[in-house]
């Protein structure tokens, strides 16, 4: 009975057929709409390059504006012949607007102030849904998305035995209580490397504007405690990362680099580690805690019966801990001084451990979880030094920065394996002891990057600040991380072109793309519904929910099309079309904490 009622609620909530089930008109635009003073651009998938008349009508059918399309031509990124419609001149707020062109009518959209506020909140709520160790409460998320705690008491020891490549690991003499934190994605791994950038991004959004998610603004258990809800959510992950630190004085047998690729083209982290060296691992962080073997889809977290294990400490994880704990020490100062002090001690301990063990790399030799392997760590060292310097002002960290090739170097969008830009952003906005000339130089490097991204917009038909080919796994997050830099460029200069670049990004993610797809669940007429997720698996089990609103799909992936759905599309899709709304498509349609975090950052920025 209960189950039947539950199923009815869930299906009525999620599977109602609607616009999303009708063919998309060839007019691609942000399906939410636009803020009154922002650029307003739609893209028409056309038959040829002849200019066409368009009209913009309100909900009563009254014409608000007329114009002619501008030909863009054949576009490689989308594989389409495109034309552009610019109706930025219309600023009058209203709901139910439509564009009419070439005999077609667009889906309805709005022009509205505060358009992005619900998106910012729901994108932030994703992190509560992903919490391990606590029940997800119906009174906060609604009955459909509530679930019992997953991995409620996670007190685990290290992987011991022979790995996939025959390397023998001794295990460790201790257990750690690593309860809590966020599940990474559609799987139930909890990874320090990826946890680091996700946490940094939320904390940076807070540092940029501490009032953005005031206490009580999010539906989380801590609402009402007098602290920013974004800080509360971030603390849930920070506390977990602290638990992943190896106790003082512990020795471990670990593979110490450099690793040498054995096959041509193999990346070093995929190479065999020949043997293990005995090192003092105290203060390092374990790479991850995860299942021994992959669980099937669906597997709600409370039903996971796989053995959970700590995987070996790595230098990269250690530096992710150092960087975020240093950020924590700075941001909880005056909010919870005890927590800030704990973070500072952990950060300093991690930093020393990384200096002592600079080449302990992840190996790609365990089943059941993702690798997040990286053998280029100069950027992680730079990032950690930057956070520690911003927090402590100590000369040793400034010296480490000045010795780093990343200090003042060209800025790129950050990602989990390339974290230098996170350090540069912190130094550019939050390092009181950094000489003014250096701050200026770093801000200049961020502006240069923003200008390069805007120049990229000219190279693809949909006008996004991104490259035209080679879309990587999680391309939507790479684009959002660029938008974050554009947002900062706007903060530094006030120049409208940078905001327009951020708007172009969110337009693309919410429907201005050749699939007419909103990549964010619950936002837009044609929103993503079937992410690769072990609990939001409605398409595999009608008793389970689909995704809550505000969850970002990884997006088109034209370079690593490894799942079965993607494999069938390989070689047949233009980069922006290598995507499917299919739960099996983990290379195209997974969700992840490091992808939703920049969505929070950018949506909150647009709302400020």
Beta carbon of residue 191, minimum distance to ligand 9MR (angstroms, whole number):
7
Burial of residue 470 (CB within 10 Å: 0-12, 13-18, 19+) is: exposed
Min separation Cβ 501 and ligand 9MR, Å: 24
Q: Where are the alpha helices (DSSP H) in 222-336?
A: 229-243, 315-331
Counting DSSP H helices and E strands in the chain, the numbers are: 15, 19
Cβ neighbors of 261 (< 8 A, separation 6 or more) are: 267, 268, 270, 271
Q: Does 270 bind ligand 9MR (CB under 6 A)?
A: no
Residue span 329-368 as binding mask against ligand 9MR, x where in contact by CB under 6 A, dash where not:
----------------------------------------
d(CA 313, CA 360): 8
132 within 8 A of 190, measured Cβ to Cβ: yes
> Which among 467, 454, 452 has a CA at the least distance from the CA of 77?
467
337: cis peptide before it, omega within 30°? no
Residues 234-253 that bind ligand 9MR (CB under 6 A): none
Q: Of 23, 28, 56, 65, which Cα lies nearest the Cα of 43? A: 28
Helix spans in 67-220 (H): 117-129, 138-141, 192-208
| Residue nearest to ligand 9MR according to CB distances in the complex | 370
- DSSP-derived letter for residue 272 is P
CB 434 within 8 A of CB 441: no
Is residue 206 within the footprint of ligand 9MR (CB under 6 A)? no
In angstroms, the CA 150 to CA 166 distance is 32
CA distances from 395 to 325, 439, 571 (A): 19, 16, 52
Helix segments in 357-435, DSSP class H? 378-392, 395-403, 420-430
Catalytic residue among 35, 107, 184, 187: 187
Query: Among 10, 85, 185, 390, which residue sits at the site for ligand 9MR (rule: CB under 6 A)?
Result: 185
Q: Which is nearer to ligand 9MR, 228 or 589 (CB)?
A: 589
Closer of 23 and 265 to ligand 9MR (Cβ): 265
Binding mask 381-420 for ligand 9MR (x = CB under 6 A): ----------------------------------------
Check binding of 187 to ligand 9MR (CB under 6 A).
yes
Q: Residues 33, 180, 313, 474: which binds ligand 9MR (CB under 6 A)?
A: 474
One of 38, 122, 184, 387 touching ligand 9MR (CB under 6 A): 184
Cβ proximity to ligand 9MR: between 476 and 516 the closer is 476
Annotated catalytic residue 187: yes
586 binds ligand 9MR (CB under 6 A): yes
* Contact flag: residue 473 with ligand 9MR (CB under 6 A): yes
Q: Which two tokens mark 305?
A: 């019966």
Q: Any contact of residue 597 with ligand 9MR (CB under 6 A)?
A: no
* C-alpha dihedral sign at 323, 326, 331, 332: positive
Q: How far apart, in Å, are the Cα atoms of 358 and each of 62, 88, 261? A: 66, 52, 19
Q: Among 6-14, 488-496, 571-579, 586-594, which window interacts with ligand 9MR (CB under 6 A)?
A: 586-594
Q: Give me the catalytic one of 237, 507, 590, 607.
A: 590
Residue 21 is among the residues annotated as catalytic for this protein:
no
Q: Are 208 and 230 in contact (CB under 8 A)?
A: no
Of 490, 532, 533, 538, the active-site residue reads: 532
Q: Choose one: 16-24, 269-277, 340-348, 369-377; the region binding ligand 9MR (CB under 6 A).
A: 369-377
Q: Binding to ligand 9MR by residue 294, rule CB under 6 A?
A: yes
What minimum distance in Å lies between the beta carbon of 605 and ligand 9MR?
Answer: 23
Binding part of the chain for ligand 9MR, among 111-119, 181-189, 277-285, 432-440 by CB under 6 A, reads 181-189
Q: Is the dihedral of CA 554, 604, 150, 177 positive or negative?
A: positive
The binder of ligand 9MR chosen from 150, 255, 313, 370 (CB under 6 A): 370
Query: Among this protein's residues, is 532 annotated catalytic?
Result: yes
Q: Is residue 181 close enough to count as binding ligand 9MR by CB under 6 A?
A: no
- The question of whether 490 is a catalytic residue gets the answer no
Q: Quick one: 211 or 562, whose CB is closer to ligand 9MR?
A: 562
Put residue 362 in one of left, alpha, beta given phi > 0 → left and psi -120 to 50 → alpha.
beta
Cβ-based nearer residue to ligand 9MR, 259 or 372 = 372
> What is the distance between the terminal CA atoms of the chain, rounded to a whole angstrom?
47
| Residues belonging to the active site | 187, 532, 581, 590
Q: Which residues bind ligand 9MR (CB under 6 A)?
A: 184-187, 189, 294, 297, 370-372, 473-474, 532, 560, 586, 590, 592
């Amino acid at each position: 009975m209960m189950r039947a009622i539950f199923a009815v609620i869930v299906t009525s909530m999620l599977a109602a057929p609607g616009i999303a089930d009708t063919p998309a008109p060839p007019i691609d635009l942000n399906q939410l709409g636009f803020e009154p003073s922002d650029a307003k651009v739609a893209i028409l998938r056309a038959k040829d390059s002849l200019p066409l008349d368009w009209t913009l009508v309100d909900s009563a059918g009254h014409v608000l504006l007329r114009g002619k399309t501008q030909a863009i031509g054949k576009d490689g990124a989308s594989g389409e012949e495109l034309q552009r419609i610019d109706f930025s001149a219309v600023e009058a707020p209203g709901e139910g607007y439509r564009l009419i062109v070439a005999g077609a009518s667009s889906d309805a959209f709005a022009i509205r102030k505060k358009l992005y506020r619900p998106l910012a909140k729901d994108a932030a709520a994703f992190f509560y849904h992903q919490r391990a160790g606590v029940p997800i409460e119906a009174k906060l998320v609604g009955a459909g998305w509530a679930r019992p705690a997953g991995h409620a008491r996670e007190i685990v020891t290290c992987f011991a035995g022979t790995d996939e490549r025959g390397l023998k690991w001794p295990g460790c003499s201790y257990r750690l209580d690593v309860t809590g934190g966020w599940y990474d994605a559609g799987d139930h791994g909890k990874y320090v490397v990826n946890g680091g950038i996700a946490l940094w991004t939320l904390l940076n959004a807070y540092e940029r504007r501490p009032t953005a998610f005031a206490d009580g603004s999010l539906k989380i258990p801590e609402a009402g405690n007098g602290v920013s809800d974004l800080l509360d959510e971030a603390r849930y992950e920070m506390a977990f990362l602290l638990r992943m630190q190896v106790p003082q004085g512990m020795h471990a047998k670990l593979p110490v680099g450099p690793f040498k690729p054995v096959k041509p083209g193999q990346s070093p982290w995929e190479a065999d580690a020949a043997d293990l060296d005995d090192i003092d691992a105290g203060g390092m962080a374990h790479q991850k805690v995860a299942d021994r073997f992959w669980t099937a889809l669906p597997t709600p977290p409370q039903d996971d019966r796989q053995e959970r294990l700590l995987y070996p400490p790595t230098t990269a994880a250690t530096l992710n801990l150092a960087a975020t704990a240093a950020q924590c020490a700075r941001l909880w100062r005056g909010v919870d001084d005890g927590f800030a002090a704990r973070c500072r001690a952990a950060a300093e301990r991690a930093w020393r451990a990384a200096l002592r063990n600079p080449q302990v790399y992840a190996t790609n030799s365990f089943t059941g979880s993702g690798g997040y392997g990286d053998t280029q760590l100069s950027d992680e060292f730079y990032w950690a030094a930057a956070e520690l310097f911003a927090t402590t002002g100590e000369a040793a960290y400034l010296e480490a920065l000045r010795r780093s090739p990343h200090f003042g170097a060209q800025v790129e969008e950050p990602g989990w394996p390339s974290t230098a830009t996170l350090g540069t952003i912190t130094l550019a906005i939050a390092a009181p002891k950094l000489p003014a000339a250096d701050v200026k130089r770093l801000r200049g490097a961020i502006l240069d990057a923003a200008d390069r991204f805007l120049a990229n917009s000219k190279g693809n038909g949909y006008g996004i600040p991104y490259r035209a080919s080679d879309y990587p796994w999680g391309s939507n997050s790479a684009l959002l991380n660029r938008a974050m830099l554009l947002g900062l460029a706007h903060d530094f200069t006030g120049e409208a072109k940078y905001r327009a670049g951020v708007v172009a990004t969110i337009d693309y993610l919410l429907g201005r793309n050749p699939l007419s797809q909103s990549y964010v669940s619950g936002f837009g007429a044609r929103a993503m519904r079937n992410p690769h997720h072990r609990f939001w698996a409605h398409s595999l089990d009608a008793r389970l929910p689909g995704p809550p609103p505000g969850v970002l799909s990884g997006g088109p992936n034209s370079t690593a099309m490894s799942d079965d759905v993607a494999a069938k599309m390989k070689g047949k899709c233009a980069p922006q079309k290598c995507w499917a709304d299919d739960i099996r498509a983990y290379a195209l349609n997974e969700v992840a904490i490091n992808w939703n975090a920049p969505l929070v950052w950018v949506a909150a920025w647009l709302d400020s």
